[in-house]
Amino acid sequence: MSPTAFLAAAAAVAVAVFVAATTVGNEYVYFAGYTVLQYIVLATAWNILGGYTGYVNFGSAGFFAIGAYTTVVIYKTLQLPLLVAIPLCGLTTAILGLGMGYLTLRLRGVFFAIATLAMAIVLHTLIVNWPFVGGARGVYIIRPRDVAFFDGYMQFLFAVMLALAVIAVWIARLVERSRLGRGLAAIRDDELAAECAGVPTLKLKLISTTLSGFLMGVAGAPFPYYVTYVDPNGAFNLAYAVNSIAMPLIGGMTSWAGPLIGAILLGTLQQVATVTISSALSLLIVGVLLVLFVTLAPNGLVGLFAALSQRRRHG
Amino acid sequence: MEFPLDLLLNAIVAGILLGGFYAAVSVGLSISFGMLDIVNIAHPAFIILGAFVAYLANTTIGADPIVTTVVLSPAFFALGAAIYQVYYLSFEKRGHESLRSLAFFFGLMFITEVSLLLVFGVDYRTVQAAYIGPSLALGGVGLPLRLFVPCLVSIAMVVLLQVFLQKTFTGRCILAVAQNQVALQLMGADPIRIRRIAFGLSIATAAIAGAFLITIQPVEPSIGRDYIGRVFAVCVLGGMGSLPGTLLAAVILGVAESFTATFYGPSWAPAVSFGILLLTLACRPAGLLGR
Amino acid sequence: MVETILAATDIGKRFGGFVALEGIDFAVRRGERVGVLGPNGSGKSTLVNCLTGVLRNETGEIVFDGQRIDGLATHQRIRRGISRTFQIPRPFASMTVRENVEIALLYAGRLATTGPGVAGAGDAAAILDLVGLGAKADESSGQLTQVDLRKLELARAMATRPRLLIADEAMAGLSRAEVDEILALLLRLNAEGISIVMIEHIMYAVMKFSQRLCVLVAGRKIADGDPDAVVKDPEVERAYLGD
């Protein structure tokens, strides 16, 4: 399928999802659906660096939160509409990703991972100490009263996140099948051998962190309007970091479908568990699933399916 | 100018005491990450686990927090050995899988934190002991016992570990593991068993450090995250696997944080370790005492 | 056209206090076959790493095809026409044999428009046929045998369209028949105009292959010249065969 055809197909699926959601007509569907879609963007973004390039980013929550807080800053200063703010949020976190990569990617991969972990904490510290965006106490965001073409603001946010998810998955698939994607895969398999095959590894890794950072910021951009009250503990929630790693790992990391499947399954599971049991327990389930998959099914669900169908063909 | 000098001295003393505590917090990582090359980012989670075990023993039967974790350290050692076994079977044996093993420890950290959250909630917990509260005064400098006692026990623990590593056969095997596997096989030791023992030790030290933590400050489940930057900063600055280096780096971090807290405000302290970590990685990845 | 394709002069490299290379002069003429011999730890691999930019030499300069290259990153040197294989094969294990070669074609091969390459081999299939892996193009590279892995190393190196190929112990651990197979392959590549540096332990292969032989001992070059003369050099005999 060509990229354009894929984009058209994905858009058609998105429209179908949107129509289905409107027929349910329940505000909660938008609310829960938004969260799952947000995880699709986040997991897909993480996978560009983690799955395609082989570098672990533990700081997804930091990127997500900086995306959200960029919206807060824009809200308090320029008051631009959300749709204009989203690319600016992405730009901010793209620069963050580039800087992060530039500082640490010359070192061994584990140092990059450790640095991202520490970076999320430092960004948290910075936001807590910045009164303009509410500091530790947080800040309230007032949603516009109504929005054109949509039946309420929540429906609009749902549609926005749906569009972002389509774009994110489309970009991931585009990267995966491009010259860039093949270079990234070579880096993931063996960085020195890649360099010796003529792959400009540092440049490609920087592109990867920048693109991944961009999409993470985009995922966080509508967040303030979704929750209407942003505080550091909510925006920097460790759940974002865990989910963005767990979803691709459980789904499968080598293709765009993995994080998509992982996000839909885990995201829905968490929504159900949060409603029926508790949010803490639903997070515990994610943690346990992450450890189980990593130790027992290292290639995720996509890998399991592939192994199963291969066995059927041969047996 | 009497007041700033006083403040300065206090900041230095508090920093050194804090550094002694940081040495206990980081020494286990210097063993697991520095010597075994196992990137255990869940290390702080085991510190918090130790803190809550100390809390339980203290509130139910009134046991001393530090004595509790020292007595229970064999149990933590066993926990560490069991985790190593899973790690070995899932990652080391299958070949180099750094990405998934990182995710594994991240998952462990998360499970520990959420489990503690489910059991104990988000409230800050404290313990009771005779040395929490009183303070010695040397001239104008305060020496709070709740910092002084953990610092002393911590230094004793690091010194004891160093003696163990250098004087016993098992200890020398652990050091040999850090250098190369061939030397170890020449010594006739099973590398997997040696690594299991070393990892067990590292978790045991984390639990004891947890008792220090809850002696020094109130603890809640998610506080471990503040220690991720610190333990790795100390480990890298100390030269990855050198215990004297760990001690020195811990004191440097302690003094730097104490200064930051005194002169800029305590809410900035978590950024110090990150700064040190990044600076070390950028300028001198071999650490202070590295070659 | 410059007669010398590679000229490295006074190359030095230390690791902490350990001197890995000191004052190495190393030159390769166009189309030449040079053997490099030396005991373990003599600096052979460090020399390869310095020439290809995996490590940076601390002293000296490297000129390739008339231009200084010692400031360039590895991938830039590869694109200019220096290629190498690894002592321990490093395949891209998640890819097929063909995809391994395609990476090099995509990133380095298409940029080298001049210089001798594989005759008419515009694509991966031709290169794989040349090294004898044509039938295994769609197999997973992680499951190849040792000798096939060595061939894949050579195929990937060839895909970068090199003018100088450095084969770092491409035959270690192979059987006599397999050594002959790789040797024949290297001679064939050389016949197409590619200069080849062979770093090797296997005396038989080195003697059969080399037009000129260099010997490294403890980071210094102790001999350089006609292979038959070099192996009879008393200093070489002492260093290589022991006192």
What is the model's pLDDT at position B289?
55
| Partner residue opposite A198 with nearest CB, options C92, C94, C160 | C160
> Is pLDDT above 70 for C117?
no
| Count of alpha carbons within 13 angstroms of residue C226, beta-carbon side | 3
Question: Mutation test of the interface with chain C: which of A184, A187, A196, choosing the one with the most C Cβ atoms within 10 A?
Answer: A196
Taken in order of first residue, the domains within chain C and their CATH numbers are 4-241 (3.40.50.300)
Asked if C75's CB is within 8 angstroms of A199's CB, the reply is yes
Residues C74, C56 contacting (CB under 8 angstroms): no
* pTM attached to this predicted model: 0.88
SS (H, E, C) chain B: CHHHHHHHHHHHHHHHHHHHHHHHHHHHHHHHHHHCCCCCCCHHHHHHHHHHHHHHHHHHHCCCHHHHHHHHHHHHHHHHHHHHHHHHHHHHCCCCCHHHHHHHHHHHHHHHHHHHHHHHCCCCECCCCCCCCCEEEECCEEEEHHHHHHHHHHHHHHHHHHHHHHHCHHHHHHHHHHHCHHHHHHCCCCHHHHHHHHHHHHHHHHHHHHHHHHHHCCECHHHHHHHHHHHHHHHHHCCCCCHHHHHHHHHHHHHHHHHHHHHHCHHHHHHHHHHHHHHHHHHCCCCCCCC
Average pLDDT for residues C15-44, to the nearest whole number? 86
Instruction: Work out the angle at residue C118's Cα, subtended by the Cα atoms of residues C116 and C122, and round it to the nearest 5 degrees.
Output: 110
Asked if B99's CB is within 8 angstroms of A288's CB, the reply is no
Taken in order of first residue, the domains within chain B and their CATH numbers are 2-283 (1.10.3470)
Q: What is d(CA C190, CA C203) in angstroms, rounded to the nearest whole number? A: 19
Structure-token pair, residue C5: 């394709």
B140-159, pLDDT tens digit by residue? 777 888 888 889 999 999 99
Chain B CB within 8 Å of residue A111 CB: yes
C132 or B157, which is more confident: B157
> Is pLDDT above 90 for A87?
yes
CA B108 to chain centre: 17
Identify the closest residue of chain A to B122 by CA–CA distance: A280
| Partner residue opposite C106 with nearest CB, options A182, A188, A192 | A182
Chain C CB within 8 Å of residue A253 CB: no
Chain A, window 50-79: residues with a beta carbon less than 8 angstroms from a chain B beta carbon:
50, 54-56, 58
Enumerate neighbours of A (3 or more CB pairs within 8 A).
B, C
Confidence of residue A149 (pLDDT cuts 50, 70, 90): confident
Whether ipTM tops 0.85, in short, is: yes
Instruction: Work out the angle at residue C186's Cα, subtended by the Cα atoms of residues C203 and C115, and round it to the nearest 5 degrees.
Output: 135
Q: What is d(CA C209, CA C212) in angstroms, rounded to the nearest whole number? A: 9
Chain A CB within 8 Å of residue B110 CB: yes
Q: What is d(CA A108, CA C2) in angstroms, rounded to the nearest whole number? A: 40
Distance from CA of B140 to the nearest CA of A (A): 31
Provide residues of C within 8 Å CB-CB of chain A: 52, 54, 73-76, 78-79, 83-84, 86, 90-95, 99, 102-104, 106-109, 111, 156, 159-160
Asked if C91's CB is within 8 angstroms of A192's CB, the reply is no
Average pLDDT for residues B118-134, to the nearest whole number? 85
Count contacts between A and C (CB, < 8 Å): 75
Radius of gyration of chain A (CA): 19
| Partner residue opposite A291 with nearest CB, options B107, B268, B282 | B107
> Is pLDDT above 50 for B1?
no
Identify the closest residue of chain B to A128 by CA–CA distance: B267
B95-120, pLDDT tens digit by residue? 667 788 888 999 999 999 999 999 99
Confidence of residue B185 (pLDDT cuts 50, 70, 90): low
Asked if C79's CB is within 8 angstroms of A199's CB, the reply is no
Average pLDDT for residues A309-314, to the nearest whole number? 76
Distance from CA of C55 to the nearest CA of A (A): 11
> Is pLDDT above 60 for C122?
no
Average pLDDT for residues A287-312, to the nearest whole number? 86
Q: Write down the domain spans for chain A.
A: 3-237
| Partner residue opposite C74 with nearest CB, options A185, A189, A196 | A196
> Is pLDDT above 90 for C165?
yes
Residues B233, B23 contacting (CB under 8 angstroms): no
Chain C CB within 8 Å of residue A195 CB: yes
Residues of chain C contacting residue A182, judged by C-beta atoms under 8 Å apart: 99, 102-103, 106
Asked if B86's CB is within 8 angstroms of A287's CB, the reply is no
A26-59, pLDDT tens digit by residue? 888 888 999 999 999 999 999 999 999 999 898 8
Chain C CB within 8 Å of residue A54 CB: no
What is the model's pLDDT at position C91?
92
Residues of chain A contacting residue B273, judged by C-beta atoms under 8 Å apart: 118
Residues of chain B contacting residue A290, judged by C-beta atoms under 8 Å apart: 103, 106-107, 110
Identify the closest residue of chain C to A201 by CA–CA distance: C75
Confidence of residue A166 (pLDDT cuts 50, 70, 90): very high
